[in-house]
Amino acid sequence: MQDLQERVDELKELGLYRRMRVVGGPQGPHVTVDGRDVLLLCSNDYLGLAADHRVREAAAEAALRWGAGCGSSRLVSGNTAVHQELESELAEFKRSEAALLVGSGFLANVGVVGALARAGEVVFSDALNHASLIDGCRLARAETFVYRHCDSEHLEWGLKQAGDRGALIVTDGVFSMDGDIAPLHEIVGLARRYGARVMVDEAHGTGTIGPRGRGAVAAAGLDGQVDVIVGTLGKALGSYGAFVSCSADTAEYLINTVRTLIFSTALPPSAVAAARASLQILRSEPERVQRLADNAALLRQELRRHGQAVPDGVTPIIPLVVGDADAAMAVCEAALERELFAQAIRPPTVPEGTSRLRLTVMASHEPEELRGAAATLAGATKVGKPRQTVREGAARSETLPAA
């Protein structure tokens, strides 16, 4: 058996070694990283809600009133009125009949894919889907067909091959590492034509795009036409946890089949209460979503002005592709030296040869900070020489379903 230290050494040689940095202070435009004051440009706290005093107070009050933890899964003794209330509010927000809280986005994706795609069936998954959807496909007893990124023709080809075994199409709504948006109209049309369900992961769409931050599905005018939407509470909503929005019948089925819900402790009341407070703020202060969009547009524009190749987009996720893993790390470290923190993202999170800084803006960034960030990044990237952004499918094998 190979020594674990040898495996770690291999990762180091490949430029894929990871370590955790220590972040000080609540999420916000400025934090400390390993003791150094920096501008934060890689947080998913898109709306600046994690540190909002109303959200913090809600979390603290809930902890004092209900305790720190729920003691068991929701199907045993862990389900409380606050969980139910947040579910009703999330269903209203997403305009769905029901919403179901799950421990995290990762748990939701892994559990829901397995529940919806069964042995003998085929699940269709975009090549750049998040790791949790990939692992959901791996754990499900169904076969997986990986279609090329956002390629509806390839998806249709796979659906045809699968015949009546096609069960589920899964896609990120907003892709986490590229910030582009799935062709949801085409996907929903194909699902109807070939009799499959659709599941959209709105981890990065919830709170960031669409009318009043309702997500990519709402932005596409597809409310009520997607079978299952997964949203997270830990990104734009500034808390922790996740939810599934769907029809009442689907929710009933999921409560009975999603293993990561049934066999995992309920979300703590503090996380639930914090998400409720955030949702309330999102409702009463929709201008935050507009500010986020304005900030994203400004950073794209400023990066281009400084000669950086950034893809078009409307989401707060902006990939600055460097290419080689070591080079991406060098750019990240050079930016840190200049007091800007944007973590380098390397394989297997992104395909080989597309290592990058994944820049994310927040509604709470000041325009001046973003202008400064673009200039800083222009200096830092000289170290790693970023190349033109190239979109390539992930290097994953495609198992074609035998018809």
Give me the count of residues in the chain: 403
Catalytic site includes residue 176: yes
Cβ distance 317 to 358 under 8 Å?
yes
Which part of the chain contacts ligand PLP (CB under 6 A), choosing from 3-11, 142-150, 200-208, 354-362? 200-208
Among the listed residues 144, 176, 208, 360, the single contact to ligand PLP using CB under 6 A: 176
Total interface residues for ligand PLP by CB under 6 A: 14
Question: With CB under 6 A as the contact rule, which of the stretches 189-197, 198-206, 214-222, 349-357 interacts with ligand PLP?
Answer: 198-206
Tell me if 132 contacts ligand PLP by CB under 6 A: yes
125 binds ligand PLP (CB under 6 A): no
**What is the strand order of the sheet 340-341 is part of?**
23-24, 30-33, 36-40, 340-341
CA distance 24 to 46: 18
Annotated active-site residue in 125, 132, 176, 245? 176
The arrangement of strands across the sheet holding 143-147 comes to: 98-102, 242-246, 228-232, 197-201, 166-172, 122-126, 143-147
Identified catalytic residue from 154, 235, 364, 365: 235
Alpha-carbon distance 317 to 311, whole Å? 10
Q: Closest Cα to residue 213, out of 96, 41, 47, 27? A: 47
Told to check if 203 binds ligand PLP by CB under 6 A, we report yes
* CB nearer ligand PLP, residue 107 or residue 322: 107
Give the residue, chosen from 109, 144, 206, 315, that forms a contact with ligand PLP under the rule CB under 6 A. 109
Nearer to ligand PLP, 21 or 305 (CB): 21
Asked if 208 is part of the footprint of ligand PLP (rule: CB under 6 A), the reply reads no
- Name the residue type at position 171: T
Q: Is 172 in the site for ligand PLP (CB under 6 A)?
A: yes
Distance CA 388, CA 386 (A): 7
Are the CB atoms for 236 and 49 separated by under 8 Å? yes
Q: Which of 83, 94, 204, 365 is catalytic?
A: 204
Q: Which residue is nearest to ligand PLP (CB)?
A: 105
**Cα 113 to Cα 180: distance, rounded to the nearest angstrom:** 22
Annotation says 235 is catalytic: yes
Quote the distance between the C-alpha of residue 339 and its chain's center.
26
Nearest distance from C-beta of residue 354 to ligand PLP, angstroms = 16
Interface residues for ligand PLP in 218-237 (CB under 6 A)?
232, 234
Catalytic sites, residue numbers: 176, 204, 235
Which residues form the interface with ligand PLP (CB under 6 A)?
104-106, 109, 130, 132, 172, 176, 201, 203-204, 232, 234, 242
